[in-house]
Every structure is written in C-alpha cells, then in structure tokens.
Structure 1
C-alpha cells in the first residue's frame, strides 16, 4: 500500500525464537511466515517493517518467566553467566541463520553493513537486517572473535544483557527501582567500547546499569544509543532511563528506541498485553520533550517480550503510525521517528 510508512526498528529477537523452535528449515519458516511469534517476512511487508537490528543472543539455561513481571513490585533474579563456548555456539548458529535467510530469500532480506546499504535495501523493498549482539558473552577478552563477527556483518553490540559478564554488570529487572544497581564496565568492557569506536560498531547502552552507562558516556567517542529503552519517569523500571541519562544522550546527539515491552511502558510495570497504544505515544511524547524530535525512534523488542495487543506483530505497526498522526504528529516528524532518526545515528556510528 502506498500510504505505508517504512519503519526501521532498533531491536528484535526473531533469530532466538527461530533457533529455539529448531534450526532445521528455520530460514524458510521466516521467509514463508506463519502465526508464530511477532516477526516474519510476510508480516514485515504487511506492516511496513522495512529494516532493523537483528539480535544475536545467548540464552541462559533458565529463561525469564514473564509471570514474575506482574506484582505491585518485583525483582526478577539475575540469570547466571553463560560460559563462552555455550554463548559462542548460540551466536554462530544465529549469525549463520541470518546469512542463510539472506541467501534463501533471494533478495527479500539483505544483510547490511553500512547505512548506504540499509537505505538502498529499503528503497528496493528488501528487508534491511543489521547484525546486533545483545550481551557479549561470546567474545573473548582479547577481542579476536569480535573481528570474526565484524567480518560476518556485526555492526551493533550491547556489551551486557541483564546478567553479568567479563565486560560489565547487567542491570537486574526490578520494579520499582533505580537503574543505579551494581557495578559498571570492567577493564575489558572499556577496551571493548574503544574497539567498537575504532571499528565502526554501534554501542548499545540498553540493559546496562547506570554506572555502566556513565562508563560508556565517559569512554565512547560516538553518540550514545539505547536501542530499546523507555522513560524511567513514566515507568520506574530499572531497565528504563533517568532524565540525567536522557540528557547525556541528547548532548551526544544519540537516540533512544521506544521499547514496546509493556513492563517498560506501563506505570505499574506489568507484562500485560491489554495496554493501550496511548501509553506508547506517551513515551514518544516524553522522549521528544527531553531529547528533541531528531533523537527518538522505535526499538520494539518483538519476539522478546509481551507487547500491546494492538501491536501484536510487525503487521500491526501502521496502527502506531496512525495513532501518532491522530495525536497530532505531522508527516515529517513521523518519517523521522519511523526511520530517519535511525539513519542519522547509524551514519554517525557504523558509517
């Protein structure tokens, strides 16, 4: 449809979902589509999901239980650290799966390494996928595997997920709670950030403790980017960003991708799909008020969280675009939120 606004999204976990369901024919399951999960190629086309950061993630042996995100307050236990070899196996399998999808889709998905490649793929109607790591457990302290992943297409990395590793402390998922919990980056983590700056790899501060955030802000020469985080003042989850953190992101000319996970949207911090689109729009409003309209995008967390029922898959993304338009946003601002702001910050980070 000609009125569809193309959207570039800052975070999804579809590769993890596909791997967990079995690697055999996983590429074809994504290409052909179905009713499982939030993201596949046919639904991406339907909803205008034109590109995004595709996460490689090494799962813990015990997955998060979303039922824990429902009380008036909660503290989800910090998962155990993942051994390097286990993490490396998961990362290799998911990276190979993304490469296989590109090959088997015959041009319907393109693995992109530069912003120019992203924009060209989107212009020709090919889903632009950028390889991202959520938690760097697969990378060794001397960063040799980082070089291998970069050659495979890696262009974005979150040094930690919400568990600790050799690069730093992850922020536990608590509600209500400040993100000022535990330590920050280790010496190895600081070296990783500097290497990412040199190589042109975006550093994602989502899932970091507040101390880790300030370590990145001190070290990094690139804009500060939180690929999938929200306003702590609207939802006081430890995973969300304080006003002081948002000011630092603004001052670095960075970006925040609005996370659709309802536990990071709602004032009560609950994982509940009965969450109005107005709550998402409220976070967009608040982030624009603090950051300006050129530093806000989307970071859905599709296939990694419970999202509002009205955004139950990527096929429904234009519902959010209509809600923003009905709220009073003009087409120029919507275009920036949908993809333009991501293209700006990616050009400044990955080139």
Structure 2
C-alpha cells in the first residue's frame, strides 16, 4: 500500500478564473469530476495531496471574452486597464463560484478565514481555500469593497497584476529584464497597504515593479511575501526577484512561493514544458540559501501557466516532492516547503 502524499498548501492558482471563463460554454466542467481541461479539480487535488491554498481572483482585461485562446503576452489588449465596477462584478462572480463549491461539496471544500480554520480543514481531509485577489482593480478608492470582500473571506491581495492601476504599476512578462520597469505605489496604493496591515490582509508582491516592492517594504509592518515568483539570478525575468529583494523578504520574516511556469524557471526564458524538475528544485535550493528554511514555499500558478510536463497538474505534486527528496532535501524541510511555511507566514500576517 502506497504512502499518502505529503500535504501541500499552494500559494497561487487561477482555477476560479478558468471555471468562470468557461461557465456556460462547451469548455465547462465540474470542479468535482476529474477532467483533462485544467490543473486543479477536487479529485486531482486529493490524488496529489493538495489540501489547501490561496485561490486567486484575477480579472483579465478581456473578461467578457469567453472565446479567448491561450494568453498572449505580446497582445497589448491583454494588459489594458479595466474599470472598477466591472472588475468588482467579475470578482464577485469568482467569489460566488467558490461559495457554490463549498455548498455543493457537502463539507469537503472550506473557505478558511483564519489559519486555524485552514489547519483544521486540512487535518480533516478537506480542501481549505483562502481567498486572494490578484490585481486590486475591484477595490474602490474609498475601500468600501475591501471591507465587504474581507467580510466574505478575502485575506490576501496583490495590489497589481502585470498592468498599471490606481494603486501601483505592474511588471511586464519580459525576458531578459530587470523588475525595475515602472513606477511604484500611488497615494491610493499606500492607503491600500495601510488598510491591509490594519485588517490583517496579506499583501502579495508578485507582479509589482521593483520600485513598488521597495515602497511596500518601507511602509508595511507585515512580512513581505511574493506568492508565485522565482529567483532572478537563475532566470532573469522581470517577474522574478533580485537578491536584494530576497534579502528584504528574509529580514521581514517573509516568504517566496516557487512558481511552476517554465519561462520563470529556465535560464533561457523559453516556453518549453519539456523542462526537468531539477530546474525547479534549483530555484528552491537557491531560495532556501537566500531566505532560510522558513522562507520558501510553493506557488504553482496552476491553471494560469505552462507547467513542467513532469508535474502536469495537481496529481504530479508527489513527483515534485520526490525531486526535492532526490536532491537531498530532508523530510523536515520538505514539509516546511510543502505547507507549513505558508501557514506560518499567514499567521505572522495576522490571519
């Protein structure tokens, strides 16, 4: 009888977006039936040991286009600004989808508002969802939506995706490139950080420019966290973190979640899924060296990226764990990276 997979808490996925965009189309599938159209569904999660994670609510620039194909980083329309009322409405659709999963799962899926709730759900074999916004376009300048979404369960916000909004500027999907590509926080962005600190909402630094990163580092009183980014030293993408940024994250007792997107892992930036798991493990080892054993976790970007073929989807998580083990990572470190470091940093954030 095979051993149970190591429990995983994952720092980022776009599964809600995929389901909402496919709702009412020929691509629509059930979250409760295993299928080949996405990286995460409940059966896949159980097979791979995925027991919890930050479930992102991202609003694409063309959110009303259900016929869209694969994301094109060269298409400027994919980076066009969006209006706050439309973004909030689309975010509400994703939140409602999550609520339906909770209801239809008969207790097998939980929206956790605290780390204690997440730990309990995971230990009971349930899937613990912590709600996250990727790109804060849904939040109004007066922060009324922030209060309402917090009451519904929102516990994490990335001020930007890779486009400018009223709070900050985002990095492009550029390679090779420094993350120092644009402006930092606006006055509204500073107020967003202050409000998130006050409420106990984690601030996610993935996608923000280097200037924005330092603005938040100088203002925030909470751990610095990048939910799905890698080491710029190993892959010089604008989406990855420089050694100086990693030093600041370590000083704050923060965390980096490793992104499985091959173009953010490979030293040539190629979109080639035929990439060895050792390339991802190399980023993990580098980040452990820079951040310590408590500062590294997983941030797959499932359902939003091109994943290594060897992993493929949530069922492949044990192959990643085995890659860590084969590279000399001990059981204690593996368990920290797989789930404990995320839960600990969320506790330090006040969740």
Go from structure 1 to structure 2 and tell me whether the alpha carbon gap of 1:174 and 1:241 turns closer, same or farther (over 3 Å shift): same
Aligned match of 2:88: 88
Q: How does 1:208-227 map to 2 (within 5 A)?
A: 208-227=208-227
String of CA shifts for 1:110-147, please: whole Å, max 9, x gaps: 10010100100000000010000000001100100000
Correspondence for 1:50: 51
- RMSD over equivalenced CA pairs, Å: 1.8
* Cα offset, 1:4, TM superposition: 1.1
Aligned length in residues: 345
Contact 2:47–2:315 (8 Å) recurs in 1: yes
Matched-pair contact (CA < 8 Å) for 1:240–1:264: yes
The CA distance in 2 between the partners of 1:26 and 1:174, in whole Å, is 30
- Is 2:280 aligned against 1:280? yes
**Contact in 2 for aligned 1:235/1:269 (Cα 8 Å):** yes
User: Which deviates further from its counterpart, 238-247 or 56-65?
Assistant: 56-65
Residue 309 of structure 1 aligns to a residue whose secondary structure is coil
1:64: Cα distance to partner?
Answer: 8.9
Matches within 5 A, 1:157-172: 157-172=157-172
Partner Cα distance (2:325, 2:27) in 1: 36
Give the TM-score normalised by structure 1.
0.95
**Corresponding residue for residue 34 of structure 2:** 33
1:82–1:64 CA distance, 2 compared to 1 (3 A): farther
Aligned to 1:194: 194
Query: Is residue 178–residue 237 contact of structure 1 (8 Å, CA) maintained in 2?
Result: yes
Partner of residue 99, structure 2: 99
Distance 2:10 2:169 in 1: 26
Counterpart of 1:327 in structure 2 is 327
Alpha-carbon distance between aligned partners in 2 of 1:56 and 1:66, rounded to the nearest angstrom:
16
Contact 1:14/1:54, CA 8 A, preserved across alignment: yes
Distance 2:271 2:108 in 1: 33
Superposed displacement of residue 280, structure 1: 0.4
**Structure 1: any 5+ residue segments left out of the alignment?**
69-74
Counterparts of 1:341 and 1:272, CA distance in 2:
29
- Note if contact 1:4-1:48 (Cα within 8 Å) is conserved in structure 2: yes
> Do 1:111 and 1:131's aligned partners in 2 also have CA atoms closer than 8 Å?
yes
SS at match of 1:119: helix
Q: Distance in 1 between matches of 2:137 and 2:236?
A: 28
Please report how far the alpha carbon of residue 267 of structure 1 lies from its aligned counterpart in structure 2 after TM superposition: 0.5
In structure 1, the partner of 2:336 is 336
Structure 2 length-normalised TM: 0.95
Asked if the contact 2:29–2:35 (Cα under 8 Å) also holds between the matched residues in 1, the reply is no
SS at match of 1:174: coil
Contact residue 60 and residue 82 of structure 1 kept, 8 A: yes
Q: Distance in 2 between matches of 1:120 and 1:23?
A: 34
Structure 2 residue runs without a partner (length 5+): none
Aligned residue number for residue 315 of structure 1? 315
Distance 2:317 2:250 in 1: 26
Task: Please report how far the alpha carbon of residue 35 of structure 1 lies from its aligned counterpart in structure 2 after TM superposition.
Answer: 1.4
- Residues 249-264 of structure 1: pairs in structure 2 closer than 5 A: 249-264=249-264
Residues 242-267 of structure 1: CA deviation (Å, up to 9, x unaligned):
00000000000000000001110000
Partner of 1:238: 238
Task: Show CA shifts across 1:46-98 (max 9, x none).
Answer: 00001000001111128796565xxxxxx774711111122111100000000
CA distance in 1, matches of 2:348, 2:119: 14
- Tell me which stretches of 4 or more aligned residues in structure 1 moved more than 4 Å: 23-28, 62-68, 75-78
* Match runs of 1:55-134 below 5 Å: 55-61=56-62, 77=76, 79-134=79-134
Alignment-derived partner of residue 292 in structure 1: 292
